[in-house]
Chains A and B, each alone.
Chain A
Amino acid sequence: MVNGELVLEGLTKTYGDHAAVDRLDLRVEAGEFFSILGPSGCGKSTTLKIVGGFVSPTSGRVFIDGNDVTCLPPNRRSVNTVFQNYALFPFLTVRQNVAFGLRRARVGKRELIRRVDEVLELVQLSTFGHRNPSELSGGQQQRVALARALVLRPDVLLLDEPLSALDAKMRRQLQVELKELHREVGTTFVYITHDQEEAMTMSDRIAVLQNGRLEQVGAPSEVYERPQTLFVTQFMGISNMLHATVLPANAGWVARIGDAEFAMAGSPPVSGTVQLSIRPERVRLGGAGSAGALSGVIVDVSYVGAATHYRVAFEAGMTLQAAVPNDGVHSVRNIGERVSVDLSPEDFRLIGEQQLAEAPANDTDVVSVG
């Protein structure tokens, strides 16, 4: 199966003088599980509606497998949508809902029955065919919506925050099911969500949107570990933001944070001060006396099950968040405890400049601690 390549070219949608989607270029490979991630109002839903054919773009084009579909109405695109609120027809049974699209396509009776049976089995609703949607749970209704879209074998399946109305446990379960389903049917999935964890769990690649603009696109690990903008850094989970002074060095440059100096690789930034980010799980806590590290006091402890989150305050008014796994090796610490904090230069991300993100430093150690 190679169908389902989706290309957006310079896609723009303006309402008055507000651009909901702003010159968006994207290429979704055939068969990919692709997520469009961003806060509400970032333009992800508008993008989906344009691809589905419900909103026509102000400018730009939409291609599916090389064919320009920008001007086709929704019923003439090989694209189907799983709507956020399911949008099941209340006056039809589950079977009739699933058969709705096949009937519109005038599929023969025997094939219709076979395909409906097949897809109901795929979503594990074989015994629910004669129920009304209102008699099903939220998760089951969601599966009917999936079956109804998948039965038409679309080239691209659009999913508009399909799990947002479900409780956390059901959401986890359906995330796993959706991934399996994607592997089984091989169709291109374009998944809209505002939940970065959900996007990372499920996707092959993620596009992060803000204010209608594409911030970054890449594999989950890439977007999480090498965010290219301040927005992506802060949106993809928790990040510590640090101000650093740029000092010259023989090789690379030196970042001065408070009293500590770190040897950084790559060409030095142009400006005198820069913003660095570091993930809480890369902030390592040591005993009170260990050498070669920053020294601070624990001001807050949050136990979150798999890990314990600490807030550590330093003398310069700076605080850092550290996530320490509860793996039996690390002991749980208390508020007020004095700790040393170990940071490696290669874990720093320079915000707004790309050279660090491309080539992390090789030499690691802290140059000096004041």
Chain B
Amino acid sequence: MTTDSKRKGIRLPRPLAIFVWAYMVWNLLPVVAAMAFSFNATRSRSQWQGFSTQWWSGTPLSLFDNEEYTAALKHSLELAAMTTVISTVLGTLLALVVTRIRGVAKRPVNFILMIPIVTPELILAVGLYLSLTFITVWPFSVVELGTPAQVVGQVTYTVGFVVVIIRGRIAVLGDGLEAAARDLGAGPIAALVLVLFRLLMPAVLVGAMISFAFSIDNFVITQYLSSDSSTVSIPMYLYTNARGGNTTPALNALATVLVVTTLLAVALASLLYRWATRRESVASDVTGTVALSA
């Protein structure tokens, strides 16, 4: 009875359903194809000639055996690790402070926080590049192009997302539980650590995963703020080599690593959030935010 009425309730018109399915396939096809060719038996990246893992490992040209690839992999992971930690810590602190701002400063602060998110990435990258290269006063003078500048650039961008996610969580929670902790004898620090941080944990984890996924994927900022060949990330390597003639399916393997890590990070964020908030009866809109930013 119930399944019947459910089916009747949201029956899609057939043309619309076909359109949706077509869109799904269109979305997945290029990515799946690119990933599949990393397992091709020959050098071709367009003609399927049998299954093999040779482009992943085993030969000098394989992804995990070639210095060029592993350097890019390593550098990307390093950048992602640093960006994740720094932007999560900074973003959490910023969110805590920003939600406590009252009065006239509230609107301008919220607006300025959004600037890195709404500015075209290219503008942000160029701006950062120029600041770090030509401004000779602290702190611009100490950040050198290469890894330090790349991390600073990525954090500048991701911290805004972390703030938005955590601020949303704080808004959902309200200050009732913190007040309850104070009422029951906890000092201000104890209330913050025992109650607020504990409750913010899911959002903090989500923020971390989003930062990670962004960092791994990022091209523009990372490219602009790089120095030499030791600061080439996966996306940078792909961009420089993907259209060249001398490429192998190892490049597809590299791309596969990129896609899978990003997807894993986002999936993990969503799962962790659900797991950590499973005892809360209050539905929250943070999962919605995650879906949007992913």
Contact = CB atoms under 8 A, between A and B. Distances in A.
A210 interface: no
B50 interface: no
Interface stretch (B10-18, B71-79, B126-134, B182-190): B182-190
Interface stretch (B40-48, B172-180, B206-214): B172-180
Given A74-B182, A75-B183, A87 B280 contact: no
Contacts of A91: 198-199, 279
Contacts of A101: 184-185
A318 to B, nearest CB: 49
B181 interface: yes
B195 interface: yes
A338 to B, nearest CB: 56
A75 B179 CA distance: 10
A83 B176 contact: yes
A74 B175 CA distance: 14
Contacts of B177: 87, 89
B281 interface: yes
Interface residues of A, number: 26
A105 B179 CA distance: 17
B195 A89 contact: yes
Interface in B196-238: 198-199
A149 B185 CA distance: 10
A91 B275 CA distance: 12
B182 to A, nearest CB: 4
Contacts of A54: 179, 182-183
A83 B183 CA distance: 10
A75 B187 contact: yes
A90 interface: yes
Nearest to A76: B185
A88 B180 CA distance: 8
A46 interface: no
A100 to B, nearest CB: 5
Interface string A130-152: 00111000000000000011001
Given A89-B195, A91-B198, A104-B190, A75 B180 contact: no
Contacts of B182: 53-54, 73-75
A100 B186 CA distance: 9
Contact of A90 (B179, B186, B190, B280): B280
A201 B188 CA distance: 38
Contact of B184 (A73, A85, A90, A148): A148
Contact of B186 (A75, A88, A134, A148): A75
Contacts of A79: 183
Contacts of A148: 184
A83 B281 contact: no
A299 to B, nearest CB: 48
A355 to B, nearest CB: 45
A52 interface: yes
A81 interface: yes
Contacts of B179: 54, 74, 81, 83, 87
A132 B179 CA distance: 20
Interface string A77-118: 001110101011111000000001100110000000000000
Interface string B73-90: 000000000000000000
A132 B184 CA distance: 19
Contacts of A88: 180
A80 B183 CA distance: 6
Interface in B139-173: none
Contacts of B195: 89
A302 B220 CA distance: 74
B57 to A, nearest CB: 44
Nearest to B175: A54
Given A91-B199, A91-B279, A132-B279, A104 B185 contact: yes
B207 to A, nearest CB: 19
A131 B188 CA distance: 28
A89 B180 CA distance: 9
Contacts of B279: 90-91, 132-134
Contacts of A152: 184-185
Nearest to A93: B279
Contacts of B187: 73, 75
Contacts of B188: 73
Nearest to B174: A85
A87 B196 CA distance: 13
Contacts of B280: 90, 134
Nearest to A100: B184
Contacts of A105: 185
Nearest to B184: A101
A318 B199 CA distance: 60
Contacts of A100: 181, 184, 186
A226 B181 CA distance: 42
Given A89-B195, A91-B198, A104 B186 contact: yes
A100 B188 CA distance: 15
A88 B188 CA distance: 18
Given A54-B182, A80-B184, A81-B183, 6 more contacts: A53-B182, A74-B183, A75-B182, A100-B186, A101-B185, A132-B279
Interface of A: 52-54, 73-75, 79-81, 83, 85, 87-91, 100-101, 104-105, 132-134, 148-149, 152
29 contacts: A53-B183, A54-B179, A73-B188, A74-B182, A75-B183, A75-B184, A75-B185, A75-B186, A75-B187, A79-B183, A80-B184, A81-B180, A81-B183, A83-B180, A87-B176, A87-B179, A87-B180, A89-B180, A90-B279, A90-B281, A91-B198, A91-B199, A100-B186, A132-B279, A134-B279, A134-B280, A149-B183, A149-B184, A152-B185
